[in-house]
Amino acid sequence: MTGYAWVLEVRPGYEEEYKRRHDEIWPEMLTALRVAGIRNYSIFRHGLTLFGYFETDDLEATKARLARDPDNARWGEWMGPIMRIEIDPATEFPYLLPKQFHMD
């Protein structure tokens, strides 16, 4: 199992709305993430900066599954207006952060 991280931003003034939407995350979105192979997924916020961490056995399969999942597409459309998301054009997925250090 490999861990991956990303950084995104909440648009100014939407911090509480972002939190509320995740407190009430749709059950079908959680299912989509699990079916795509995502485990141990957490999102942290510092100011407007969001830091996400998740684990999956096969990142390419996970990205492909999410790309064709209608609930993931609907979630993205719903969250898009309150977030600033940078997509890596090479992967069509948010930029993933290179690991700098790990301690067991």
Tell me the residue type at 59.
Answer: L
Question: Which of 81, 36, 32 shows the shortest CA–CA distance to 55?
Answer: 36
Residue 95, judged by CB atoms within 10 A of its CB (0-12, 13-18, 19+), counts as middle
**Percent helix, strand, coil in the chain (nearest 5)?**
40, 30, 30
Active site residue: 20, 22, 34, 39, which one? 22
22 assigned to active site: yes
Which residues participate in catalysis according to the annotation? 22
